[in-house]
């Protein structure tokens, strides 16, 4: 069983997994697909909404390695409990996910569920926005951003 408090087991997990299970953020139902299909568009088996592109993926620890190593860069927004800036930034993040569909994938990581991630990347607070390309951290910012600033951060991190 995976232990969320051990950051090293978090990154070894990939070895044991062939499938990725993601809950659809429209209908909430679980969807399982092969890791070999991570680079193609995936739709929910139940409601047909996109699972990975143009939407905000609700990130759990086992999602990070496969998503961050996929061909499409991954933008992670870490939020925490009782964070009002996080709440208002969530809308900006969701809209930005639509406009960047196909170019960048967007994942929301709730801190209490993603502690190993926070430890590994030495998060200083919430919200934190981090961009990964082919498994590597390309940029990280602590604090909320306006839509234009977020787009600029993405562009700068990818350049």
Query: Given the complex with Zn ion, which of 45 and 92 has the nearer CB atom?
Result: 45
CB under 5 A: which stretch of 19-27, 91-99, 107-115, 117-125 binds Zn ion?
Answer: 19-27
Q: Which of 49/151 has CB closer to Zn ion?
A: 49
Query: In the bound complex, what is the minimum distance in angstroms from residue 81's beta carbon to Zn ion?
Result: 26
Q: Which of residues 14 and 29 has its CB atom nearest to Zn ion in the complex?
A: 29
Shortest distance in whole angstroms from residue 25 CB to Zn ion: 8
Give burial (CB, 10 Å; 0-12/13-18/19+) of 155: exposed
Q: Which helix (H) or strand (E) holds 119?
A: helix 115-120
- Smallest gap from Cβ 63 to Zn ion, in A, equals 16
Q: Which of 17, 27, 30, 41 binds Zn ion (CB under 5 A)?
A: 27
Contacts (CB under 5 A) with Zn ion, residues 28-57: 44, 46-47, 49
Query: Do strands 74-79 and 128-133 pair parallel, antiparallel, or not at all (unpaired)?
Result: antiparallel
**Tokens 């562009």 sit on residue:** 155
Q: By C-beta, is 9 or 23 nearer to Zn ion?
A: 23
Print burial letters for 66-88: b (CB count within 10 Å at least 16), e (below 16): bbbbbebbbbbbbbbeebeebee
Give, as ranges, the residues between 86 and 145 that touch Zn ion (CB under 5 A). none
Q: Which of 20, 24, 56, 76 binds Zn ion (CB under 5 A)?
A: 24
Task: Report yes or no: 73 and 42 within 8 Å, Cβ to Cβ.
Answer: no
Contact 89, 125 (CB under 8 A): no
Q: How far is the CB of 52 from Zn ion (least distance, A)?
A: 12
- C-beta of residue 118 within 8 angstroms of C-beta of residue 78: yes
Name the site residues for Zn ion (rule: CB under 5 A).
Answer: 24, 26-27, 44, 46-47, 49
């Amino acid at each position: 069983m995976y232990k969320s408090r051990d950051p090293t087991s978090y990154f070894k997990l990939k070895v044991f997994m062939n499938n990725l299970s993601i809950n659809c953020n429209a209908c909430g139902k679980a969807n399982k697909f092969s890791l070999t299909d991570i680079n193609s568009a995936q739709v929910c088996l139940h409601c047909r909404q996109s699972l990975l592109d143009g939407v905000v993926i609700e990130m759990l620890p086992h999602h990070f390695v496969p998503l961050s190593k996929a061909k499409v860069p991954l933008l992670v927004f870490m939020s925490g409990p009782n964070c009002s800036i996080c709440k208002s930034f969530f809308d900006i993040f969701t809209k930005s996910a639509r406009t960047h569909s196909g170019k960048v994938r967007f994942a929301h990581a709730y801190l209490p569920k993603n502690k190993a991630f926070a430890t590994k990347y030495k998060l200083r607070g919430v919200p934190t926005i981090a961009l990964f390309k082919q498994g590597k951290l390309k940029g990280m910012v602590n604090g909320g951003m306006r839509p234009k600033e977020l787009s600029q951060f993405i562009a700068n991190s990818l350049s």
